[in-house]
Amino acid sequence: MPSCNSNNNSSSSSSSRFNKFPKSFSTISPSATSAFTTYASISASLMLFRSIVNDLIPYPLRRHIWSVLSYLFSFCSDKQTIVIEQYDGIKPNHVYNASEVYLSTKVSPETERLKVSKRLKDKGLSLKLDNGQSVIDSFQGVELKWRYVYEAEKKGIRSDSNIVERRYFKLRFKRKYSDMVLSSYLPFVLKSAELIESEARVLKIHTLGNSHFSWKFKWESIKFEHPSTFETLALDSELKNMIVEDLNRFLRRKDFYRKVGRSWKRGYLLYGPPGTGKSSLVAAMANYLKFDIYDLQLENIKTDSELRELLLDIANKSILVIEDIDCSVNLPDRPQASGHKRSGQDKQFTLSGLLNFIDGLWSSCGEERIIMLTTNHKDGLDPALLRPGRMDLHINMSYCTMQAFRVLASNYLGIEGELRLFGDIKELLEGTKVTPAQVAEELMKNEDADAALEGFVSLLKQKKMEDDELEKAEALKKLEIKESREPKMQHKSLKKDQTMAEMPE
């Protein structure tokens, strides 16, 4: 019967399936089976042994035994291990931080477990080794194995006892390379980390702000995203190159500054009319050096101790900016903070004194600092500030020249070559005082290059006319003053002559 057949068939197929297992089992040889059984029983015993040891021997003792055993075994091994801990006492260990940064670029997709994170200020994802994970690096043909370890140990038996955490890297390599690792490889790791960090660095601008809870001003920072660079800056190329070279020399000369006993800092005084690019130059320098900016508004500072605190809070690799010093630094006459009377000595507090103060503080605790002062009126500054050696470089930010105009024309209109109107513009610029800010504003008015240039030429012509009229008016005024004085002078000399004549001989 069909149903019977089908039943038979199915039973035969299920039995053939059923028969597969005994068959495959039967292919394992007796020796393999016994090896498997032995392995299983050994690992079970080991696990049992481990749990007994864990129960009977407390963790600190276990760790001690383990380190003694490792120490004994190290004599038989041709390998050496360097331990790089997160803290050196209570201070962060710079080598640990650098290793972490360096290894974040070394982890490969083959690394089994990685930690991925991103802080708000970071540009990209940051990768870190997870606990117990390793990565192999190679340097000058030598293989170096890094391993990250995290340990947490409870101090005491109470539920609220402190948990002591320990993080470290283990760097393992062949013993014969230990000199090379200490003298070349680890310095290379430090240097690489510095480069990686400076590339990934998001710049910040720090300004003074006070919270609701305190009358004191503190640095508050936001992301610094000013687009100004030395390429976009409209300056004569000679001046631009000189500034860039000066900055490069400053960065190179760490050892020089130490040798001559100076703090590793450089001061720039930028002076010129409004809109000539002083603030833009500060931003371009920050972007070039990848230094944070600290914008110090002196009028907010009431006491010397407040100022000292703020200056000590400034990080290395930074630019301290004091804008419009001619306006902000009539320090001796500043309003007094309530309850903070200035001593007689404080009243002598001048900008020059402030800079001395910064010198003293920074020579003992700061590195790679730049201080920039800006002013519209150099003539009005304290002569002590202008004396040689006070600010290292005085930079005159002048009205727009033809070279500067070409940079702006390229930035704003994409003009690279010579255009028809350039001849007129060159001539007009020579006799006209127009700031780069005014030029930029005019060039932004029109997307079409020719139309924008036409507009700019008429602006220059009008400015020239106004300047000429102003000049004429000034000359006329001078003449009038001179003439109004002359009759008086004549009158005086006449009177004098008369008196002389009246005097008896």
Ligand X SMILES: Nc1ncnc2c1ncn2[C@@H]1O[C@H](COP(=O)(O)OP(=O)(O)OP(=O)(O)O)[C@@H](O)[C@H]1O
Binding-site ranges for Mg ion (CB under 5 A): 278-279
Q: Which of 104, 133, 280, 432 binds ligand X (CB under 6 A)?
A: 280
Verify binding: residue 287, ligand X, rule CB under 6 A. Answer: no
- Name the nearest CA neighbour of 276 among 236, 222, 312, 234: 234
Pick 326 or 368: Cβ nearer ligand X: 326
Task: Give the strands of the sheet with 318-322, arranged side by side.
Answer: 218-223, 204-209, 292-295, 318-322, 369-375, 265-271, 393-396
The kind and range of the H/E element at 209 are strand 204-209
Task: State the binding partner of 437 from ligand X, Mg ion, none, CB within 5 to 8 A by kind.
Answer: ligand X
Task: Report 397-456 residues binding ligand X (CB under 6 A).
Answer: 397, 436-437, 440
Q: How many CB atoms lie within 10 A of CB 460?
A: 22
DSSP sequence for 81-147: EEEEESEETTEE-HHHHHHHHHHTTT--TTSS-EEEE--TT-SS-EEEEPTT-EEEEEETTEEEEEE
Q: How far is the CB of 444 from ligand X (least distance, A)?
A: 9
C-beta of 235 vs 285, nearer to ligand X? 235
Q: How many CA atoms lie within 13 A of 297 on its CB side?
A: 11
Sign of CA dihedral 224, 230, 234, 240: positive
Contact indicator for 209, 218 with CB cutoff of 8 Å:
yes
Smallest Cα–Cα separation from 132: which of 175, 168, 78, 186?
168
Binding-site member from 235, 322, 428, 443 for ligand X (CB under 6 A):
235
293: three-class secondary structure by DSSP: strand
Q: Which stretch binds ligand X (CB under 6 A): 118-126, 232-240, 460-468, 471-479?
A: 232-240
Which of 104, 263, 279, 398: binder of ligand X (CB under 6 A)?
Answer: 279
Nearest to Mg ion of 278, 406 (CB atom): 278
DSSP 346-374: GGG--HHHHHHHHHHHHHHH--SEEEEEE
Helices (H) and strands (E) in the chain, counts: 17, 15
When asked if residue 276 is in the footprint of ligand X (CB under 6 A), the reply is yes
376 binds, among ligand X, Mg ion, none (CB under 5 to 8 A by kind): ligand X
Q: CB 279 → Mg ion: shortest distance, Å?
A: 3
* Binding site partner of 307, from Mg ion, ligand X, none, Cβ cut-off 5-8 A by kind: none
Number of residues that bind ligand X (CB under 6 A): 15
From 42-50, 90-98, 275-283, 488-496, span contacting ligand X (CB under 6 A): 275-283
Smallest separation (angstroms) from Mg ion to the CB of 110? 52
Candidates 129, 233, 301, 459: give the one binding ligand X (CB under 6 A): 233
Q: What are phi and psi of 189, to 5 degrees?
A: -65, -45
Contacted entry of ligand X, Mg ion, none for residue 296, CB cut-off 5 to 8 Å set by kind: none
Least Å distance, CB 436 to Mg ion, is: 12
Residue nearest to ligand X as judged by C-beta position? 277
Contact between 114 and 107 under an 8 Å Cβ cutoff? The reply is yes
Contact map string, positions 343 to 382, toward ligand X, x by CB under 6 A: ---------------------------------x------
Q: C-beta of 323: minimal distance to Mg ion in Å? A: 6
Least distance in Å: CB of 321 to Mg ion? 9
Residue 242 touches ligand X, criterion: CB under 6 A: no
Return d(Cα 146, Cα 84) in angstroms, integer: 10
Dihedral angle computed from the Cα positions of residues 484, 487, 492 and 497, in that order, rounded to the nearest 10 degrees: 160
d(CA 390, CA 352): 8
Give the burial string for 428-455 (b: 16+ CB within 10 Å, else e).
bbeebebbbbbbbebbeebeebeebbee
If the CB atoms of residues 251 and 327 are measured against Mg ion, the closer one turns out to be 327
Q: Which stretch binds ligand X (CB under 6 A): 272-280, 297-305, 307-315, 421-429?
A: 272-280
From the list Mg ion, ligand X, none, partner contacted by residue 440 (C-beta under 5 to 8 A by kind): ligand X
285: contact with ligand X by CB under 6 A: no
Contacts with ligand X, residue ranges (CB under 6 A): 233-235, 274-280, 376, 397, 436-437, 440
